[in-house]
Amino acid sequence: MEYSGLVLVGVFFFLLLLNVPISFSIGVATIATMLYSIDFMPAMTTVAQRLAGGINSFALLAIPFFVLSGLIMGQGGIAKRLIECAMALIGMLPGGLALVNVLSCTLFGAISGSAVAATSAIGSFMIPQMEKNGYDKNFATAVTGAAATTGMLIPPSNILIIYAIASGGVSIAALFVAGYLPGMLVATALMIVCAGYSKLKGYPTGARLPLKVVLEKVLAAIPSLLLIFIVIGGIIGGVFTATEAGAIAVLYSLALSVGFYKEVKIKQLPEILLKAGETTAIVMLLIGASSAMSWILSYENIPQTISDFLLTLSENPLLILLLINLALIIVGAFMDMTPAVLIFTPIFLPVATELGMSPLHFGIMIVLNLSIGLCSPPVGSVLFVGCAVAKTTIEKIIRPLLPLYLAMFVVLMLVTYIPGISEFLPKFFGLY
């Protein structure tokens, strides 16, 4: 058993070092481990079955719908209206533009379901705007990258759907509702840091707008924000499932971006559909390959071995959860969220449940943890997008990122050790 585990880990990380795409690294490592453990034909048949079976889920149909709706809204003028709304509401506070950046990224990330899209759409406007008003460009880039990750917790979120599949049946509706409080906590913590940092550096405060202008900006953003309420309200009310909510999100985003705002032209739709198909194919290949890897992990009893090892290190559940979080932070710095959730959920979830943590609580913890990895070098995708938008380098934004990292880590610890932050809303609405 221990040798098969070494084969799996060794082949996987060796291929990653060679820059082999992660889905192929997972697949080849799984096949190598299968061949080490069982004969050729049963091994290849099992891999094929698990690849197909891994994506044979009705719940996964929600992913292409939410990807498509996010792409449509990403080009539909949503970002501009959200920024103007945030500017009208909080632009006059200390570090106003930094706070606007955080709130805009949070709202856009939640609507689009993509941290990369939020970084690109919000960052392309807010980073130059902040620099023009006297803010340091690297600080502006750091704020954009950190704040964009909050959309991973606030639904509609594809990564929460993927965790629901990886965990073996946690309610997607419960996960969606559970992400609200942690997501808002992260955004609040980032705003506190931005306000303090801006005051320390003497960054300017925005002008207070007349009430009439504030109301106009808020009203202009309401149609965009309604998507969140339609999706969650329908799921909570039992009107439709998460998958059906994805289809409704596509219809709503089309009506809003093509019909109401008129920012997306009909001739642009084929390109958007093609991009949605490409993104979905990448995600589905990752899910299929990771499902095969999860099977071999279970077959070789590797999660149970790791669970027993961790539980022998200490009898203190607080320490074990801290070790899991530290391990996931390291994983998140080197691996994208989707494969990390698919691979490490079967490994660490048994340990968490053994310690009395619910699968719902653990799901929010792992997604929040790996969200930090999205803005962490060397693999953090939002860092690369943010730096490309701002025309700066990752090395230059690390220093202003540190206090933002600290704020996110503090919230992670709160979410880890206070189950009510994740579980209160699902229990209140009778979803868990």
pLDDT reported for residue 2 = 56
Q: Tokens 């991009």 appear where?
A: 275
Query: Can you give the C-alpha Rg of the chain in angstroms?
Result: 22
**Better pLDDT: 102 or 93:** 102
User: Above 90 in pLDDT, residue 335?
Assistant: no
Q: What's the CA dihedral at 148, 110, 258, 235 to 10 degrees?
A: 170
With bands split at pLDDT 50, 70 and 90, how would you rate the model's confidence at 397? very high
Residue % of the chain over a pLDDT of 90:
40
pTM: 0.90
- pLDDT per residue over 219-251, tens digit each? 988 998 888 888 888 888 888 888 888 899 899
User: Above 80 in pLDDT, residue 3?
Assistant: no
pLDDT reported for residue 6 = 85
Domain boundaries, the chain: 38-428
pLDDT reported for residue 419 = 96
396-407 average pLDDT score: 94
C-alpha to C-alpha distance for 173 and 122, rounded to whole angstroms: 28
pLDDT reported for residue 4 = 79
Query: Is 177 in contact with 74 (CB distance < 8 Å)?
Result: no
Least confident window among 148-152, 178-182, 357-361? 148-152
User: Above 90 in pLDDT, residue 321?
Assistant: yes
pLDDT reported for residue 251 = 93
21-40 average pLDDT score: 88
> Could you tell me if residue 358 is left (phi over 0), alpha (psi between -120 and 50 degrees) or otherwise beta?
beta
User: Above 60 in pLDDT, residue 1?
Assistant: no
**Residue 376, CB half-sphere, CA atoms under 13 Å: how many?**
20
Sign of the dihedral through C-alpha 199, 123, 67, 235: positive
Angle at 283 between CA 409 and CA 294, to 5 degrees: 75
Query: Is 341 in contact with 369 (CB distance < 8 Å)?
Result: no
User: Above 60 in pLDDT, residue 212?
Assistant: yes
The shares of helix, strand and coil residues in the chain, as percent rounded to the nearest 5, are 80, 0, 20
The two three-digit tokens of residue 248, written as one number: 């409704």
pLDDT reported for residue 405 = 95
Mean of the per-residue pLDDT values of the chain:
89
